[in-house]
């Protein structure tokens, strides 16, 4: 793992890491706000790329990112093999920006905030049943 880029786009921290375990490819990670945390990356339903990671990046050398959770994607799929440019740091950084744009959309905010609205009622209903 080799840190390639760390930038902020529209208020979200984006990280690009170069991976060499199975060839040359990059992974992209986008900061999640504390109110957006879920237990599964599939909950976010991001269309810009297939999300394959949810969590922190504490094991990346050279980054001070304690207490920040990220959603992320990689570029080691069949489609990426057919489009080698999609494995580059530039391409992955631009995809991170596309993910951020999607996360800023109203649909994404409604999905995330919907859980915040439902969760307190669910917790209260359990408490009242006791």
Total structural domains in the chain?
1
pLDDT values of the chain reduced to their tens digit, one per residue, 130 residues: 788 899 999 999 999 999 887 778 999 999 998 877 777 777 777 888 889 898 888 877 778 787 889 999 999 888 888 999 999 999 999 999 999 998 887 566 655 555 555 444 444 444 444 4
Q: Print the domain residue range for 116.
A: 2-129
pTM of the full structure? 0.78
- Cα–Cα distances (Å) from 15 to 5, 83, 113, 115, in that order, read 6, 21, 25, 26
């Amino acid at each position: 793992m080799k840190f390639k880029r760390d930038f902020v786009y529209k208020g979200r921290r984006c990280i690009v890491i170069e991976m060499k375990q199975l060839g040359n490819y990059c992974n992209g990670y986008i900061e999640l706000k504390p109110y957006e945390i879920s237990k599964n990356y599939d909950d976010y339903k991001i269309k810009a790329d297939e999300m394959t990671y949810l969590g922190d990046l504490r094991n990346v050398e050279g980054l001070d990112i304690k207490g920040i959770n990220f959603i992320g994607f990689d570029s080691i799929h069949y489609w990426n093999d057919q489009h080698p440019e999609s494995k580059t740091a530039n391409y992955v950084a631009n995809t991170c920006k596309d993910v951020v744009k999607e996360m800023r959309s109203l649909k994404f905010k409604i999905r995330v905030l919907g859980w915040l609205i439902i969760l307190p009622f669910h917790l209260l209903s359990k408490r009242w049943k006791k």
